[in-house]
């Protein structure tokens, strides 16, 4: 007859501070309470001090007339607009240079990163030279270099460099013709849309057919032909309903066309080239993280080289590339605030600079500016996390 070990008698219940789980909860609650109290205190104290010193507070200034001009604006803006609108103008300028910077940095970064692994000695050395130079010079100096050393050295308006008398480059910036759309132009975006829908349908159909029969069409090339060809065809059928507004030297300056200001060019070039050097290293490490056996195995299956890259190497490499790539995008967006050093009218320059100074409401303006960068960064990071989850390897 075996004696079953008796269950431990529970005895009197231990006091709650002996219970590890409860204790942890209590400490967390205390910490949260302390943080909240601290925040309330800071905010209340700030408000009291501002009031005591007779400094105006609140966000009412956003509806006041700004009264100053901004050189580059994506929306209608005049000196009669409100401070609220200067905020939007600055924000859009920040987003513009960030978005174009991210696109350019990604393209340059991938090309240089792949070039660095090239078996061609010269190309590989050039790529590593690029990375070492641009990664190791402070970004602010690179911005100054492009702005002061390169773009300031351009000729005056009267002696502009010109390309076929339609595109001009001088110390005031780059002047390109802008399209003026006439009636009937609406068909072209329509044709573009149709081509994209058709391409997607074709790709899906091709994939199903491939899985069912093993046969497939070169869907990529057909789609490209559709997307480029169809709008072009419509363009010529409708008799090219576009005229160009060519910039022309009148008075002090070129009038007409689109002006790309040198502050934008300098900032965009510096941000793209600098960030691209980091992206190139990320791409290289991503590709090198794939064991060589993977490539060999794919080759042993006699997959052609481009499919080896597309189906075997890149999907696995992306898993390694995307998280650090996200940080680089975030860095680029935040670094765009260096614009203020050369006078590009971004959010920091226009809003946290001029608006702050004209209204004197430092706390509100800086808080709004910080909130904007935080929001943009969180949104980008959310998108990249979603994208990462999509391309991540599904482990079976």
Instruction: Compute the radius of gyration of the chain from its Cα atoms.
Output: 29
Whether the Cβ atoms of residue 223 and residue 203 lie closer than 8 Å to each other: yes
Per rule CB under 8 A, is residue 187 in the interface with other proteins? no
Among the listed residues 45, 118, 327, 385, the single contact to other proteins using CB under 8 A: 45
Sheet with 161-163, strands from edge to edge, namely 161-163, 167-170, 173-176, 258-260
Closest to other proteins by CB, 157 vs 166, is 157
x-marked contacts with other proteins along 298-327 as a string, rule CB under 8 A: ------------------------------
Applying CB under 8 A, the site for other proteins has a residue count of 43
Per rule CB under 8 A, is residue 365 in the interface with other proteins? no
Per rule CB under 8 A, is residue 252 in the interface with other proteins? yes
Site for other proteins in 96-135 (CB under 8 A): none
Per rule CB under 8 A, is residue 67 in the interface with other proteins? yes
Phi/psi at 176 (5° precision): -125, 155
Among the listed residues 345, 347, 351, 369, the single contact to other proteins using CB under 8 A: 345
3-class state of residue 174 by DSSP: strand
Per rule CB under 8 A, is residue 340 in the interface with other proteins? yes
Site for other proteins in 256-275 (CB under 8 A): 262
Residue 59 CB: number of other CB atoms within 10 A? 13
List the end-to-end C-alpha distance of the chain, in Å, as a whole number. 50
Per rule CB under 8 A, is residue 357 in the interface with other proteins? yes
Closest to other proteins by CB, 238 vs 340, is 340
- Report the nearest approach of other proteins to the CB of residue 361 (Å): 8
Among the listed residues 341, 380, 384, 391, the single contact to other proteins using CB under 8 A: 341
Among the listed residues 253, 285, 381, 388, the single contact to other proteins using CB under 8 A: 253
Closest to other proteins by CB, 201 vs 258, is 258
User: What Cα–Cα distance (Å) separates residue 168 from each residue in 152, 256, 259, 273?
Assistant: 15, 12, 10, 23
Please tell me the distance from the alpha carbon of residue 350 to that of residue 337, in angstroms, as a whole number: 11
Q: Which of 154, 152, 172, 147 is nearest to 339 (CA)?
A: 147
Binding window for other proteins (CB under 8 A); candidates: 8-16, 67-75, 126-134, 226-234: 67-75
Please tell me the distance from the alpha carbon of residue 155 to that of residue 147, in angstroms, as a whole number: 14
Binding window for other proteins (CB under 8 A); candidates: 98-106, 149-157, 218-226, 375-383: 149-157
Please tell me the distance from the alpha carbon of residue 105 to that of residue 99, in angstroms, as a whole number: 10
Residue 109 CB: number of other CB atoms within 10 A? 26
Among the listed residues 6, 18, 20, 53, the single contact to other proteins using CB under 8 A: 53
């Amino acid at each position: 007859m075996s004696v079953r070990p008796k269950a431990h008698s529970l005895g009197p219940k231990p006091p709650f501070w002996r219970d590890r789980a409860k204790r942890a909860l209590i400490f967390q609650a205390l910490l949260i309470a302390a943080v909240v109290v601290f925040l309330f205190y800071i905010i209340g104290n700030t408000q009291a001090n501002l009031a005591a010193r007779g400094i105006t507070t609140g966000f009412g200034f956003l509806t006041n007339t700004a009264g100053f001009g901004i050189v580059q604006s994506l929306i209608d803006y005049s000196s009669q607009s409100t401070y609220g609108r200067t905020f939007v103008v600055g924000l859009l300028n920040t987003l513009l240079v960030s978005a174009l910077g991210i696109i350019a940095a990604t393209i340059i970064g991938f090309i240089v990163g792949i070039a660095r692994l090239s078996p061609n000695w010269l190309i590989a050395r050039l790529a590593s030279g690029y990375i070492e130079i641009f990664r190791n010079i402070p970004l602010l100096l690179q911005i100054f270099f492009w702005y002061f050393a390169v773009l300031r050295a351009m000729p005056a308006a009267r002696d502009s460099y010109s390309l076929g008398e339609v595109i001009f480059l001088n110390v005031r910036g780059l002047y390109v013709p802008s399209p003026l759309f006439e009636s009937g132009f609406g068909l072209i975006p329509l044709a573009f849309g149709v081509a994209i829908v058709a391409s997607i349908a074709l790709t899906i159909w091709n994939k199903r057919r491939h899985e069912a029969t093993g046969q497939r069409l070169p869907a990529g090339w057909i789609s490209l032909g559709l997307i480029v060809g169809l709008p072009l065809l419509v363009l010529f059928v409708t008799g090219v309903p576009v005229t160009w507004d060519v910039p022309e030297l009148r008075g002090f300056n070129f009038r007409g066309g689109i002006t790309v200001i040198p502050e934008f060019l300098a900032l965009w070039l510096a941000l793209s080239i600098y960030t691209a050097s980091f992206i190139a290293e990320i791409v290289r490490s991503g590709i090198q993280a794939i064991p060589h056996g993977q490539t060999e195995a794919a080759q042993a299956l006699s997959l052609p080289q481009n499919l080896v890259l597309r189906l075997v190497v890149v999907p696995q490499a992306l898993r390694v590339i995307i998280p650090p790539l996200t940080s680089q995008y975030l860095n680029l967006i935040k670094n765009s605030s260096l614009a203020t050093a050369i006078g590009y009218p971004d959010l920091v320059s226009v809003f946290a600079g001029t608006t702050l100074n004209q209204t004197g409401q430092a706390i509100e303006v800086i808080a709004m500016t910080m909130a904007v960068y935080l929001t943009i960064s969180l949104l980008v990071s959310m998108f990249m996390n979603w994208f990462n989850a999509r391309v991540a390897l599904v482990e079976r």
